[in-house]
Amino acid sequence: MARLFSPRPPPSEDLFYETYYSLSQQYPLLLLLLVIVLVGLLALLAVAWASGRELASDPGFLSTMLCGLGGFSLLLGLASREQRLQRWTRPLSGLVWAALLALGHGFLFTGGVVSAWDQVSFFLFVIFTVYAMLPLGMRDAAAAGLVSSLSHLLVLGLYLGPQPDSQPALLPQLAANAVLFLCGNVAGAYHKALMERALRATFREALSSLHSRRRLDTEKKHQEHLLLSILPAYLAREMKAEIMARLQAGQGSRPESTNNFHSLYVKRHQGVSVLYADIVGFTRLASECSPKELVLMLNELFGKFDQIAKEHECMRIKILGDCYYCVSGLPLSLPDHAINCVRMGLDMCRAIRKLRAATGVDINMRVGVHSGSVLCGVIGLQKWQYDVWSHDVTLANHMEASGVPGRVHITGATLALLAGAYAVEDAAMEHGDPYLRELGEPTYLVIDPRAEEEDEKGTAGGLLSSLEGPKMRPSLLMTRYLESWGAAKPFAHLSHVESPVSTSTPLPEKALSSFSPHWSLDRSRTPRGLDDELDTGDAKFFQVIEQLNSQKQWKQSEDFNPLTLYFREKEMEKEYRLSALPAFKYYAACTFLVFFSNFIIQMLVTNRPPALTITYSITFLLFFLLLFVCFSEHLTKCVLKGPKLLHWLPTLSVLVATRPGLRVALGTATILLVFSMAVTSLVFLPAASNCPFWAPNVSSTASNLSWELPGSLPLISVPYSMHCCVLGFLSCSLFLHMSFELKLLLLLLWLAACCSLFLHSHAWLSDCLIARLYLGALDSRPGVLKEPKLMGAISFFIFFFTLLVLARQNEYYCRLDFLWKKKLRQEQEETETMENLTRLLLENVLPAHVAPQFIGQNRRNEDLYHQSYECVCVLFASVPDFKEFYSESSINHEGLECLRLLNEIIADFDELLSKPKFSGVEKIKTICSTYMAATGLNATSGQDAQQDAEQSCSHLGTMVEFAVALGSKLDVINKHSFNNFRLRVGLNHGPVVAGVIGAQKPQYDIWGNTVNVASRMESTGVLGKIQVTEETACALQSLGYTCYSRGIIKVKGKGQLCTYFLNTDLTRTGPPSATLG
C-alpha cells in the first residue's frame, strides 16, 4: 500500500497543491455531495408521504427533516460562493461533516424503536464521503471517519446496553457494525490515496509540461536567434525546413531530391553597395599577442564594426582574418545604401584613429566601396556562411586592396549614388592594381568632414601608453583599450539553457507570491491588478492549472467529448484503452478486503450454516487464485526455486497488467463475486412468506420468542445483508481505471438486483422483522427511517448516484492524467528535436568539440573561447578556373547557374567530411571558390607538446588523403558537367590560435603565421599540385609520403621560400592512389 502514496513534492509545489489545486478539484464533489443529501432528504419525505404515513404524527422525524433541509441548503448556498472557496473550504467541509453526523444521530432516535443496525448504511455513507468527496487532508479525513464510526458504536452501545434482553444479542451486531465501518474507512482511505496520487501526478505532469513548454520556447528562441545570426530571416526559413527534414530522415543525411542537384539557396539582388575593410598593420601586431589577447582584440574590433554596421543599416557578410566586409541593401532594398556604406567606412576609420591615438599602436584602416548587384545566399552543406558573389563584389575587394590607409576608396558608381553628400578627390592610380587598371575607370577617395576637427583635438586626452608606462607591449595596450568598448560575447544567449525537465518542477516565483489563499485562481475571477503583475510565464502557469479544473469535464473541450469523456482522437482513445495498468493488483486486493468484511459480518449475524461456510470456502479459493495471479510477479524468487513447470506463473501478473481484455474480465468477475456473496445468506432464508410473528395469538408479553425463523437464519441477518449489499456498491468504485460505462452497467445491475430482492421477492423478511420488533404495539408501523426495506432501498439509490458521480470524476482524472503524460512526452520529444536542431545549427557554425562550450550549463560566458595549438595542418584548396568560368548574362540568369555548379562542388567536398576516415578534418570556411580546412583542432591544448613529432603530426596524412579525395570529387564533377576544372592546393602545418568572435554573427576561425603561409602556398601553387613548405615536406616524408622540390619562389609577405610539391601519384610509398587534378 505504501507504493500508492507518492513522495512529498517540494514545499512550494506542496503549498500550492494544498491551497488551491486539490481544493479546486474536489469543489464540484462538495457541491454534488450537498445536492445528493438534499435530494435524499426530499426523497425520504416523498416516500413517507407516498407510504401513507402522517408526517404530523411524528414531530421528531418532521423537525429532523426540516432542520436537515434548511441546514444543508444553507451549506449549499455558502459552498456555491466560489470566491470564498480558498479561505473557508476546510472549515466548511468540517461543518458539512458535522451536519451529516448530527443528521445521522437524529435519524437514530426518531421514527420508532432504536436497533443496533439502525442507520449503519447512512454512517457508512458519511464515512466514505468524508474521504472521497470532502476536500480534507488524509489525516483530517481519517480522524473524521474514526469519530463517525466510534460515535455510532458508543451511542448505540450505551443506549442499548442497559435495556432488557428482548433485543437480539447486541455484541455481535456492534462487532458487525465495527467491521462495516472499518471496511468503509479502509475503502475510503484507499480511494482517497489513489485519487491523491493521481491528482499529484497530473499536477506534476502539468507543471513539468509547463516547464517543458518554457524550455521549448527557450530552445525555439535560441534556435531562431542562432539561425538568424548566420542567415537573414528569409533564407533562414527555407534552410530550417531542410534541417528539420534532415533530422526526420536521420542526422547527417540529406532528403532525397527530385533532381540530382543539391539545394541552392542563392538569390540575386540589385541596388546594393559592398564594403571591404582591412586593418593595416594587424598581422605584425597579432604576432606579438597571446591567444587570449588576439581573440579578445578581434572580438572587440569586429564587435565595434558590427555595432557601426547596425547603426548604418549594413549587414556584415564575413570576416576573413583581419578583413571585414559587409553589404547595405540586403535583404531589403534601401535607397541610400551607398551613403550607408560610406558612412560606415568613415566611422570605421575614425574608430581606428581613436584607437591609434589612445594606444600609440601603428595600425590603420583601409576601406573600399562599390555599388552594383550581387548574388547572395549560402552554398555547401556544412559551416554555412552567408556570402555574396558577383563581379561587383570582386571590384569592391580590389577597391580595398588598392586603397589608401585611413581613407574610404569608392568607385564612380558609388559616387553617382552619393548625390553630393560627401566631397571626394581623385585617387592616384599610378600604383593601382592590374584589375582596376584593366577596367580603366576613375576611382575616388572620400573626404571625411570630421577629420580636421579630430586633427585639431589631437591627443589632448593623453596616450594610454604614457599612463601605463613605456614598457607595456603594444598588443596589451590595445587590448586594455578595446575592453572599454564592451563588445558582446558570442552566443551569450545560449549560456543559460535550462536543465532537463525534472519531476519536481519549481513554480513561478511571482505566481506563488501573488497567490493568496482567499483568491480563486479562475482567471475570470482574478482580482484586478493581478493580471498586470503576472508576467507571461506566470500567465501560462495559471492557464495550465485552469485546464486541470475538474469542472472542465462538463464543458466543450478540444480533447474530450463532454458527454462520454472519450478522446476526440480515435488513436488516442485506443491508446488509452490499451495502456498498461500496474495498479490492477491493488484494486483486486482492496476488493478482497470488502469480500472478507462481508464474510466476517455474515459469520457474526448468522448461525453459520454448513452450506454458507462451504460457499465461502469456494469463494475464498477463487479469490486467493485471483490474488496469486495478480501478485505472482512479486513471487518470482519463490517460484523460480520451485518446479520448472511453475516458472511461467510470474508472467501472469504482467499479462493482467498489460492485457485490457483480461483485466476487464477479471475485474468484472471479481465485482460480481462480491455482489453474489453479499446476498448469499438470503439463499438460506425461505422464499415463501412464512413469518410466525404475524399470527394473531402472538402476545406482546411473549418476549421470549426467538429472533430466528424456524429452520432458518436469524432475522437480524436481513438488514445486515442490505449493509453487505452497500459494501458491494463500494467494491465497484475501487476499480478506479475501470471504464465509466462498465461501472454504470454493473451499478445498474446491482441496484436492480438489490431492489428486486428487498422490495419484491424477500420484502416479507423486512415486514417480519418489523412485526417481531413491534410485537403487541398499538401502532406496529414504524417511521420510514426504521423500516429496513425502505431505508435499504433509499441507501441503495444514494450510494448508486454517489458512486456514479465519483466514477465519472475518476474517469475524468484518469483520462486527464493520461492526456498530460502524453502531452509531456510529445513536448519533451519536441524539445529534444529543437535541442538537436540547435546543436546541429551550432555545430554548423562551430566545430563539434567547441559547440558544447557555448551550450553547456557550466559555460562561463565572461570568457571568450580561444585555444592555442602547437601542430595544426591547414589546407587551402581552390578552383582557379572558376573565375574564368563565372560570367553574368541572361543565359545563366546573371551568374546564378554558375553558382549552382560551385554549390555542387562545395557540397560534394562537404560530403567527404561525413566519412569516418575524415572525421578529424574540420572545415573552416569557403572564400569564393577556395575551400579552407584544418586537422589537429580536436586535440587538447598542450597535448602536442607532450608527444613526439610522429604522433603529434600524424594527422597530416589525413589532410593529404582529404586533398586527394577533393581532387577525385572534382574529377567526377568535371565528367558530369563537361568541364575541366583543376584543383590547386596549399598545405602548411604549425601553431595556430583558434577562437570564436563576433556577437552579431559568431564565427569560428583560426589565425597565425601557419594560416597565412598555407594561403600563400595555394595562391602561388600550380594547378593539379599540392604545394607545401619545407617543414611540412619533411613531416610528410617521415610519414611515408614522397615530395620533390619546386625550388625558391617569392611569397608575398614572406620573401624567398623553398617549397615542395607532394607526389600524388602515390599517396604513400607503396600503394597507388588517385592523382590530384
Rounded Cα distance, 326 and 276, in Å: 7
Find how far residue 949's CA is from the centre of its chain: 49
Residues paired with 318 in a beta bridge: 325
- CA quadruple 1069, 870, 984, 919: dihedral sign: positive
Contact predicate 939/922, CB 8 Å: no
Amino acid letter for position 153: L
Q: How far apart are CA 361 and CA 465, in angstroms?
A: 9
Catalytic residue among 1001, 1016, 1025, 1046: 1016
Contacts of 1061 (CB under 8 A, 6+ apart): 1022, 1025, 1026, 1027, 1028, 1043, 1044, 1046
Sign, CA dihedral 66-71-72-74, equals positive
Q: Which residues contact 81 (CB under 8 A, 6 or more apart)?
A: none
- Exactly one of 577, 883, 915, 1052 is catalytic; which is it? 1052
Report d(CA 410, CA 407) in Å as an integer. Answer: 10
Using a 10 angstrom Cβ sphere, with 0-12 exposed, 13-18 middle and 19 or more buried, the burial of residue 243 is: middle
Tell me the sheet residues that pair with 323: 278, 320
Amino acid code (one letter) for 1071: P
**Beta pairing, strands 1026-1029 & 984-997:** parallel
Contact 586, 4 (CB under 8 A): yes
What proportions of the chain, in percent to the nearest 5, are helix, strand and coil? 60, 10, 30
375 pairs with which residues across the strands? 268, 389
- Cis, bond preceding 331 (omega within 30 deg of 0): yes
Q: What is the 3-state secondary structure (H, E, C) of 310-335?
A: HHCCEEEEEEECCEEEEEECCCCCCC
Element (H, E) at 52: none
Coil, strand or helix: which one is 554? helix
Judge contact between 645 and 569, C-beta under 8 A. Answer: no
CB atoms within 10 A of CB 502: 11
User: What is the rounded CA–CA span in Å between residue 1054 and residue 1050?
Assistant: 8
| 374 touches 357 (CB < 8 A) | no
Measured between alpha carbons, how far is 625 from 621 in angstroms, rounded to an integer?
6
What are the distances in angstroms from CA 907 to CA 265, 844, 911, 914, 934? 12, 14, 6, 11, 17
Q: 3-class DSSP state for residue 7?
A: coil
* 176, 720 Cβ separation under 8 angstroms: yes
Q: How many CB atoms lie within 10 A of CB 572?
A: 16
Is-catalytic flag, 489?
A: no
Closest by alpha carbon to 807, among 750, 871, 855, 850?
A: 750
Tell me if 411 sits within 8 A of 391, measured CB to CB.
no
- Residues forming beta bridges with residue 409, ordered by sequence position: 368, 445
Q: Which amino acid is at 31?
A: L
Phi, psi of 52 (to 5 degrees): 85, 10
Residue with cell 421514527: 111
Distance (Å, rounded) from C-alpha 296 to C-alpha 293?
A: 5
Q: Which of 382, 235, 264 has the alpha carbon at shortest distance from 842? A: 382
Q: Any idea what the Cα angle at residue 607 is, between residues 604 and 613, rounded to 5°?
A: 85
Residues in the chain: 1077
Catalytic residue list contains 1068: no
Active site residues: 1016, 1052
